[in-house]
Structure 1
Amino acid sequence: MSSARVVAVAAAGAFFAAGAWTATDPGHSGLSLLLAACALIVAGAAWLETGPGSAKELALIATLAAAAAAGRVLFAAVPGVQPVTVTVVAAGVALGARAGIAVGATGALVSNFFLGQGPWTPWQMLAWGACGAAGALAAPFL
């Protein structure tokens, strides 16, 4: 079993343990849900590492993530404008779910270095990663 697969299985186990903790002790649900989000991000990163990606594909994904992060930082003062979502969905449609998730999670993480990290960062990474996966699912219809 590869090390990435072991990490993904361990993160999935941590996710289910955090869910069980939420069910048994509702007073700590915020902390357990944050741990579950972090476990999902670790599992997603391990899944992304197993992909057969070339250097060209990796460079394209990094460039799209940088463009998404820069767009978010530049348009932070304009309410209701989210260039990250458009970039992430387009990456998911054009390059597939793995690339869309990578662009979304990386774009959220990098842009929060400028806009402020906090407990919302894992949730933003998950949400924009889900937008990339949704773009990949919608690709046959577009």
Structure 2
Amino acid sequence: MIQLFSTTTASMLPIYLIILGAFTGLKGFKTCVDQFCPLGTYCEERDIVKCKSPPCQPILACMPDNTKGCKSHPPCPAGQVCAEKLVSCIGRSCRKIAKCVLPGTCEAMECPPSHKCMMNPGPTCVKTILSAEDIVKMNQH
């Protein structure tokens, strides 16, 4: 019997597939990571409810910058702040997802690329080599 993969390669295969799904879209469709939008706009994915043959390919729309992130988010409840999470893209202006979070947490902190937030004792950005799981977590909505 011919062994096609080493045990290390075979055990890493699920991680590669997760990363591939996070960046290319799990259904094989084009995502905002692949879409270029003009300056002053960002890409937003809009899901189609009905199509001829499901699964339906999402519509990629270039939206004006003033509709992204905390600018257009409703006010947060008392004791919470609006935090923005940047979604990966190839343009200069990427989509920001806004959500209400507790202040002083890693969720409220935005770290630069190749940094990870760690509570030490408060939220601190630490330079690190990101694992496949970290990348998947960063790209989840």
Which has the bigger relative contact order, CA under 8 A and spacing at least 6?
1
Q: TM-score, normalised by structure 2?
A: 0.33
Q: TM-score, normalised by structure 1?
A: 0.33
More helix by share: 1
More strand by share: 2
